[in-house]
Amino acid sequence: MMLTNVAISLRRFGASALLLTVTMQPLPGRAQTSPYPQMASLERYLEPDAREEAALARSAAPAAISKDATVLVLTKTGYVAAATGTNGFTCLVERSWMKHFEDPDFWNWHMRAPVCYNPGATHSILPYTVFRTNLAVKGASKSQLLDAVKAAIANGQLPALESGSMGYMMSKQQYLVDVAPANGVTASSWHPHVMFYEPAADAANSGASFGANTAGSPVIFDTSGGAIEPWTVFFVPVWHWSDGSPGPVVMHH
């Protein structure tokens, strides 16, 4: 498997690692400045049917994994468990406040990012999502969120990365960015992919040891900077969505 032939820039969206912004034309009428300057009403970020959100969360990974996972759904008080799993994985749908803090879509209420974390990521990545979300649903501003996350990392309230942490983002129903279709990529999604986490301090060494961001390599990592989480994310596009249907063609870079 090889990299897509479209130019790629990477923006992390927090715990679930990366928002991939492929080089496409913006949607007609979209301004250069953010159309989401502040948080919309909380209802816009919520799904009216918890069962539908649970199904969307499970779609992040193949059914053989997600059927036995714990499933979280977002409510106006934060995430709550819709199902208790047995395999240590946790599936949920992240919202736009998990992006980089400077991302213009930080408050994009359209975004739905289904992700399934393995046990290591459940222990050490998921707490960051829960922490940000608990503040966001209470109406915290972006600057308040940023300050709170920095303080929680500094005082040890949020955990260090656990070795072997990874996640699946293979949902055909993902909505990541507002862009027009091009090169086989829809207006809402990128490629199905899996993610692997390494300590941020080891990013350069890890990138070299994985052969990331080199011609023909399927391994990509974020070099955009500006993330505050103590990890670097490596991800690999895969050839099919979680339901088994083919994803966009992955061609040589």
pLDDT in tens, 165-223: 999 999 999 998 887 555 554 556 788 999 999 988 776 677 777 888 888 888 988 66
Region of poorest pLDDT, from 89-98, 102-111, 224-233: 224-233
More confident residue, 47 or 251: 47
Can you tell me the mean pLDDT for 241-253? 79
In a domain, 2, yes or no: no
Token readout for 233 is 């994310």
Beta bridge partners of 168: 116, 194
Q: What pLDDT, on the 0 to 100 scale, is given for residue 122? A: 98
Q: What pLDDT, on the 0 to 100 scale, is given for residue 91? A: 98
In a domain, 28, yes or no: no
In a domain, 152, yes or no: yes
pTM of the model: 0.84
In a domain, 227, yes or no: yes
Please state the domain count of the chain: 1
What is the span of the domain harbouring residue 231?
8-23+37-237
In a domain, 31, yes or no: no
More confident residue, 20 or 234: 234
Token readout for 93 is 């749908």
Can you tell me the mean pLDDT for 21-33? 42
In a domain, 217, yes or no: yes
CB 157 within 8 A of CB 116: no
Between CA 211 and CA 234 the distance in angstroms is 11
pLDDT in tens, 121-141: 999 999 999 999 999 999 999
Q: What pLDDT, on the 0 to 100 scale, is given for residue 225? A: 57
In a domain, 168, yes or no: yes
Q: What pLDDT, on the 0 to 100 scale, is given for residue 209? A: 78
In a domain, 142, yes or no: yes
Between CA 61 and CA 106 the distance in angstroms is 25
